Amino acid sequence: MNGCTKFDYYRFILVLSLFSILFSHLPSISTAATRTDLQKFQRSIIDYRWQLNPKFKKIKRAKTSYIIVHTSELGLNMTLKVISKGKRLSSGGRTHGGHTHYVIARDGRTYRMLDNTIQADHAGRSMWNGETDLSRISIGIELVGYHYSPITMHQYRSIGALIDILQGVYGLGDRAVLTHSQVAYGFPNRWFKKNHRGRKRCAKNFIRANAGLGPTWTYDPDVNARRLAADPQLAEVFYGRRKLQAKAGEANIISKSNTAWSIAGEDYDRRTTVYKLPNGHIYTGDRISDKIGWGRIPPKTIVLLNQDTGIELTRDVGPIKTIPVGRTAWSLAGNAYNRKTTIYFLPSGRIKYGSMISNWDDLPVKTKIIIGYRGPFKIHKDRTAYRIAGVKYRDRKTIYFLPTQKLLAGNNIKNFNRLPSGTLVFLPIS
């Protein structure tokens, strides 16, 4: 086992067993997992430590004071790759991985990425109650998904069980469970004149009660002590009376109330952050200042984080979008991913409507997507493309799926008289 010594592994199992015995004598709590549930969950954890980058330097953690919850801002495969192997830095270099202890997929599968006793590089520049560099004293849990998309109940059940176990092992209460967006802080920038919250937005959509967690902090201790300036949006989410929840369909789209900062935090000007303007132009974060200006980004611009493998991933061919490595149905369709008007064309040739999709993270690479469509309408000798689509049969928004499994927009078809019988036509919804 590359992630830890056998001694460390068996010590954890022993402590877990002792905790299970102790747990069996405690009064049952309706929101907590049973002892059997915890044991079953522990056996189901997938050991991924063998994938850890051999260049990662293992440092023993002296104590454990917190559990920090993250959202990965990626799909499962890229999350596992980045956390185990490393990620690109704004300087152009790369890290050596080891970025969290656990990853929880959207179906609840849980991966152990690093031994509990090793310091994971997950919290970065962080502070809570005057204590800094929380990676030294915390365990990190990464939930696959985005801070503007819902966390699944499968994930809540798994993270609830995992937190129960870790709390028992390290003697932690519910107030020791925090999100990365709560503890991260940034240096002064164009939005803030002093050190401030808001450097990260991840897990701001984490609903504690869904994980069986009880009362937590009602204020930010570092803001109250004036060590940091508050981030208005995050302060409302975590400590406001209304418990503001971001609208999932708008949270990664620029608007009057949603700035590049409120979406991306410190990653707003990174070259791994991509801005897709309404006119189709695409810029990485490091080019916005020169090309547009931060105060002139138009509304409805889409912001995509962690586009580590390049800007080409974000390019679409007209209304036809393709899932490449590193992206998901959610990053392409948002909360429309499971609507019946979102249509998927799988590499196998099978067609699925969004209403048939239960998880936006389990679609294969090279799946093509059209959003806001009805159909199919089948072409045969008595039913031509013109009879189906009218004057818009040649339009770029009218989509044809040929029996050869080729997907074409109407403006890319040269001879409609040669369209084979059985071709399917999809029409945009007005």
Strands (E), 169-306: 177-179, 185-186, 196-197, 274-276, 282-284, 302-304
Where a domain ends, among 239, 266, 288? 239
Alpha-carbon gap, residue 89 to 79, rounded angstroms: 16
Q: For 159-184, how does the pLDDT look when each residue is reduced to its tens digit (9 = 90+)? A: 999 999 999 999 999 999 999 999 99
Residue 350 forms part of a structural domain? no
Residue 358 forms part of a structural domain? no
Residue 67 maps to which CATH number?
Answer: 3.40.80.10
Residue 172 forms part of a structural domain? yes
What separation in angstroms does the CA of 137 have from each of 67, 116, 172, 291?
9, 11, 12, 42
Q: Is the predicted pLDDT of residue 36 greater than 60, yes or no?
A: yes
Q: For 334-373, how does the pLDDT look when each residue is reduced to its tens digit (9 = 90+)? A: 889 999 999 999 999 999 999 999 899 989 999 999 999 9
Where a domain ends, among 178, 205, 239? 239
Residue 249 forms part of a structural domain? no
Alpha-carbon gap, residue 97 to 231, rounded angstroms: 29
Residue 54 forms part of a structural domain? yes
Q: Which two tokens stand for residue 221?
A: 């201790």
- What backbone torsions phi and psi does residue 152 show, to the nearest 5 degrees? -80, 160
User: Which residues make Cβ contacts (< 8 Å) with residue 24, sequence separation at least 6?
Assistant: 35
Q: For 267-296, how does the pLDDT look when each residue is reduced to its tens digit (9 = 90+)? A: 888 888 888 888 878 888 888 988 888 888
Where a domain ends, among 184, 207, 239? 239
- What backbone torsions phi and psi does residue 255 show, to the nearest 5 degrees? -150, -175
Q: Is the predicted pLDDT of residue 46 greater than 70, yes or no?
A: yes
Alpha-carbon gap, residue 198 to 207, rounded angstroms: 18
Mean pLDDT for all residues in the chain = 87
Q: For 224-251, how does the pLDDT look when each residue is reduced to its tens digit (9 = 90+)? A: 999 999 999 899 889 986 555 544 456 7
55 and 198 inside one domain: yes
Residue 20 forms part of a structural domain? yes
234 and 376 inside one domain: no
Structural domain boundaries enclosing 415: 372-428
Residue 340 forms part of a structural domain? no
- Tell me how many domains the chain contains: 2
- What backbone torsions phi and psi does residue 2 show, to the nearest 5 degrees? -80, -25
pTM greater than 0.85 (yes/no):
no
Residue 326 forms part of a structural domain? no
